[in-house]
Structure 1
Amino acid sequence: MIDGAMQPFALTLDKFLAHAAKWRPTSEVITAREDGGIDRIGYADLKVRCQRVSSALARLGVGLGDRVATLAWNTQAHLEAWYGIMGMGAVCHTLNPRLTADHLAAMVARSEAGILVVSADLIALARQIAERVPHALRLLVIDGPATADDSALDALIDGAGDRFPWGGFDETAPCGLCFTSGTTGAPKGVTYTHRSSFLHTLRALQVDVMAISGADSVLAVVPMFHANAWGLPFAAPAVGAKLVLPGRHVDGASLVRLIRAEAVTVAVGVPTVWLGLLEHLEAEGGEVPSLKRIIVGGAPMPPALMARLEERLGVIVQTSWGMTELSPSGVVASAGDPKRSAAQSGRPAVGVDLMVADAEGRRLPEQRTMEGHLHVRGAAVVERYFGETAPVTDAEGWFATGDLARIDEAGNLSITGRVKDLIKSGGEWINPAEIEAVVSALPQVSLAAVIGRADEKWGERPILLVEMREALSDAALLAPLKGRVANWWIPDQVVRLESMPLAATGKIDKLRLRAQYSTDGPT
């Protein structure tokens, strides 16, 4: 007997845009321009331009598996580069423009990208990168005029054919490369495949995850240079949703204008972005009536901020947890869960699994309510880092995230700390995340961080660094900790910062805080 069979259908990312172009041709991608104007393009026309990018790159010698770097903001032109690179089977290596030229050059040297697609306002940084890499790096300029020494990508695609064939390669081929943020250590390269990102997209679209539909207008504030922009450039065309790209400016005033102008229903970004939006509305007044949901991730959500957003804006805030190594989404809180909280990140959807273990990686006998080291496995979880041969997973495929976590009886994940953030005082461990959660819940506090400072007697002692909304004494800041954490966990000192240093992804930059405050430095 000969079994039946199903058609081969490679899970490659070009199919998302091809689907949108055919079935949602006039649904739009919106870009906020530097001059305050708006660029609009339908998915059908966008696909033509993206295929012309592929043609232009092919003429420059780019082939299957070659890395092409991008250094750009969230714009239509950057999206065209994404699909143009990935659709032809090359690898899109996104670079974070808020990092130093030395750091970025080291990444490009490792990826061996020969072309860098760069926003016009980042040309100076791009040239510094080119000067530091050991191989030739050609610059292709987008979102502005090119100089005599560089090429404008627009000029190249205007003369390129629009029928460049997409696909035709294996779904396990690499499509993207992103280096970890490096907020706690040296960055490592994570390679995404077409299959992993395709499956990640299907998971994100589920009702209990991001729940994006063709009726939505989705504002992607999360940067396209970081961890696939949480998958939104794939998810939006997959369902034909309007995709709203803010360009370079993500301050509160700019986002409010864009949300109102484009009737944004879903907005996605790190907590500090929504703090800026909220403070603008509180200062200037007005509403954003179209906005229904905000999805946050990338950093812990302060409970007070979540409460303010939901009360002031009338929106549902969905917390999430993920990391670059997870493509990046791990879990997202369901919008329909009445027990949502800032402390909980949600349940995993099909395609990702969680496990809590002891410090040696041994599975804890009780997987509910016990704090342990969080491990993950699934279709969009890293197996090995770029340029390395040894896997970073164990024999059963589990990847150690470096997070401490607890899973409640209902299956909701709560991140309780980072292993690298732990402070050892007098031979015992202090978890900064527990202290930060208590202090961040105070309505007078905008942002809070706890780090260890060298201590002659105890080895390390915790200090609290805060960015305040309103005045509050040190005693009042520390008082809520009594009875909530051990007395010896309470920080010895409070340091008030005019502005909390943030890493390029919006997380509090603890590397910088440790460099400045972990010894007897500024106070």
Structure 2
Amino acid sequence: MIENVKEQLTSVHTYVVMTDKETSPETSLAPVYSYERLISEGDTAYEFLQDIDENEPAAMCYTSATTGMPKGVTYSHRGIALHTMSLGLADSAAASESDVSMPVVPMFHANAWGMPFSATWFGSKQVLPGPNFTPRLLAELIQNEKVTVTAGVPTIWLGLLQVLEQGNYDTSSLRAVLCGGSAAPKGMIEKFEKDYNVPFIHAYGMTETTPLVTLSRLKSYQQDLPDDDRLDMRSTQGMAVPAIDIKAINANGDIEWNGEEMGELLIRGPWIADEYHNDERSAEAFQDGWLHTGDVVTIDEEGAISIVDRTKDLIKSGGEWISSVELENAIMAHEYVQEAAVVAMADPKWQERPVACVVVKDDYKASTLKGDIIDYLRPQFAKWWLPDDVVFMDEIPKTSVGKFLKRALRDKVNQ
């Protein structure tokens, strides 16, 4: 792949190939070196510099670009260190030496959510499923390696649930499944906790936030609430972890923390980025010390945020806003639905109307399901929120990190 574009790589002066062999591969790239051979020829007495400034860059990741071109985010040594310490707090991810940690998220996705750093710092065992994992492999690793904490996006856990329903796997070692990247359906949270006795912890973050911002844990006085109330609270994205400030704004200024008023989430803190790498979009996203996330949220009296939608994914129909996230979560609670994404379709009368893109579970036929899904939604939403159509797909397109690629879905439904 690199050979095809080498003439355009004018700043590159050396190529290093990562292989298990000590010989350089046959290639037209030059000069080229084998990583293993370079290491074997290194000076074992070399002392690395110890005076690296903590504010110097340590890593860079790019946003997953569900709505546009990716943006580069640089992480400092200090930012990664502080973020790593936050993962060890009892009311955060509670990372410890006794954990067996399995990030089901690639390193290019916000440094695998910082889990390899926390595992190294606290001395946890790490289980890495690799790039070509399947839900069945995850179930086997959890059982065989006695995984205690694992993390990934909702589509990962939907797939794992399907495998757990089909086979007999021991998941009793799990003390937490961490879920982020997008809102998790309430039905999925309930199934993990009631059917498999696995605590499901909803979290929120972004590439720009290293990524942890909020985490959903019940406060001490909420533990004895009725099951439905506890589930409602667990399905929020939770409260900001220590050292992070949040607020949300709309056209009228800061929103009320009443769980109803909506606004764009703003974040600041010691591991939050303050610019994109060589990108003019920095001026829009970073203002007066705050990161403008583009996520529309409510914040309740306890300080817990709930994601309503991305600003670019909200559907404006007849001058009123419709949340694609709320519709998606409701549809995915249907017993025959495996995945669902809702996008806007252009409409000459209403400007935009919602369309549901649905993947059904293996054992069910889609042909009889369209009316059932609309009827299922009818008692839950106002009539004008109901999707105009339900489009059945074999698979919903996803980004490299497993998020629904709504840009591609919008193109498809608007053809």
TM-score, normalised with respect to structure 2:
0.88
Q: Tell me which residue corresponds to 1:236.
A: 119
Q: What does the per-residue CA deviation read over 1:437-456, in whole Å, with 9 as the maximum and x for residues that have no partner? A: 22122222211111111222
1:451·1:463 contact (CA, 8 Å) conserved in 2? yes
Distance in 2 between residues matched to 1:217 and 1:231, nearest whole Å: 15
Among residues 280, 283, 286, which one is paired with 1:393 in the alignment? 286
**Once the two structures are superposed, what CA deviation does each residue of 1:197-248 show, in whole Å capped at 9, x if it has no partner?**
1111111211111111100110111111111110112111111111111122
Provide the rounded CA distance (Å) in 1 between the counterparts of 2:107 and 2:378: 42
Residue in 2 that maps onto 1:376: 267
- Report the Cα distance in structure 2 between the residues aligned to 1:264 and 1:507, rounded to whole angstroms: 24
Kindly state the Cα deviation for residue 388 of structure 1 after the two structures are TM-superposed.
4.4
**C-alpha distance in structure 2 between counterparts of 1:435 and 1:377, whole Å:** 30
Residue number in structure 2 paired with 1:308: 191
Match of 1:426 among 299, 302, 318: 318
| Deviation of the 1:313 alpha carbon | 2.8
Aligned-partner SS, 2:25: coil
C-alpha distance 250-374 of structure 1, shift in aligned 2 (>3 A): same
8 Å Cα contact 1:368/1:411 also seen in 2: no
Counterpart Cα distance in 2 of 1:345 and 1:446: 22
Equivalent residue, structure 2, for 1:142: 18
What residue is the counterpart of 1:222 in the other structure?
105
Determine if contact 1:299/1:506 at 8 Å carries over to the other structure. no
1:429 positional shift: 2.5
1:443 counterpart SS class:
coil
Residue 311 of structure 1 and its aligned partner are, at CA, apart by 3.2
Q: Residues of 2 paired with 1:129 and 1:368: CA distance? A: 53
The CA deviation at 1:291 is 2.2
Equivalence for 1:51: none
- Give, in whole Å, the separation in 2 of the partners of 1:298 and 1:129: 32
Matched, 1:151 2:44: no
1:462 to 1:231, Cα distance in 2 relative to 1, 3 A: same
Alignment of 1:65-80 (within 5 A): none
1:414 is aligned to 2:310: no
Question: 1:238 aligns to what SS in structure 2?
Answer: helix
Name the CA shift for 1:225/1:456 in 2 (closer, same or farther; >3 Å).
Answer: same
Alpha-carbon contact 1:250-1:273 (below 8 Å) kept: no
Alignment CA distance shift 1:446-1:131 (3 Å): farther
Moved more, 433-442 or 168-177: 433-442
**CA–CA separation in structure 1 for the residues paired with 2:218 and 2:129:** 24
- Which moved further from structure 2: 137-146 or 503-512? 137-146
Pairing 1:324–2:324 present: no
Q: In the alignment, which of 454, 478, 500 is matched to residue 374 of structure 2?
A: 478
Give the superposition deviation at 1:302: 1.7
Residue aligned with 2:349, SS: coil
Structure 1 residue 131: Cα displacement: 5.0
**Matched AA of 2:9:** V
Q: Which AA in structure 1 matches 2:254?
A: R
Task: State, as a whole percentage, how many aligned pairs show the same letter.
Answer: 35
Q: Please give the secondary structure, in 2, of the residue aligned with 1:420.
A: coil
Give the equivalent residue in structure 2 for 1:502: 398
Change in CA separation of 1:143 and 1:311 when aligned onto 2, cut-off 3 Å: farther
Equivalent of residue 489 in structure 1, options 353, 360, 385: 385
Which position in structure 2 is the counterpart of 1:87?
none
- Contact map agreement 2:257 2:303 (CA 8 A) in 1: no
Question: Is the 1:316–1:335 Cα contact (8 Å) retained in structure 2?
Answer: no
Deviation at 1:126, TM superposition (A): 4.0
Matched, 1:346 2:230: no
Question: Take 2:218 and 2:16, find their aligned partners in 1: how far apart are those partners?
Answer: 41
The answer to whether structure 1 residue 446 and structure 2 residue 338 are counterparts is yes
CA contact (8 A) 1:357 1:363 kept: yes
Paired residue total: 392
Q: What amino acid is aligned across from residue 258 of structure 2 in structure 1? A: R
Greater displacement, 136-145 / 350-359: 136-145
Residues 1:206 and 1:446: Cα distance change in structure 2 (over 3 Å): same
Q: Distance in 2 between matches of 1:186 and 1:153?
A: 31
Counterpart residue identity of residue 513, structure 1: L
* Shift of residue 356, structure 1, vs aligned partner: 1.2
Matches of 2:178 and 2:140 in 1, distance apart? 19
Q: Does 1:296 align with 2:179?
A: yes
Distance 2:257 2:183 in 1: 22
Which residue of the partner structure matches residue 286 of structure 1?
Answer: 169
Over the aligned positions, Cα root-mean-square deviation in angstroms equals 2.2
Any idea what SS the aligned residue of 1:248 has?
coil
Measured after TM superposition, the shift of residue 353 of structure 1 is 1.0
Unaligned runs of 5+ in 2: 224-229
Question: CA 1:258–1:129 in 2, change beyond 3 Å: closer, same or farther?
Answer: farther
Match of 1:89 in 2: none
Contact kept in structure 1, 2:71 and 2:279, CA below 8 Å: no
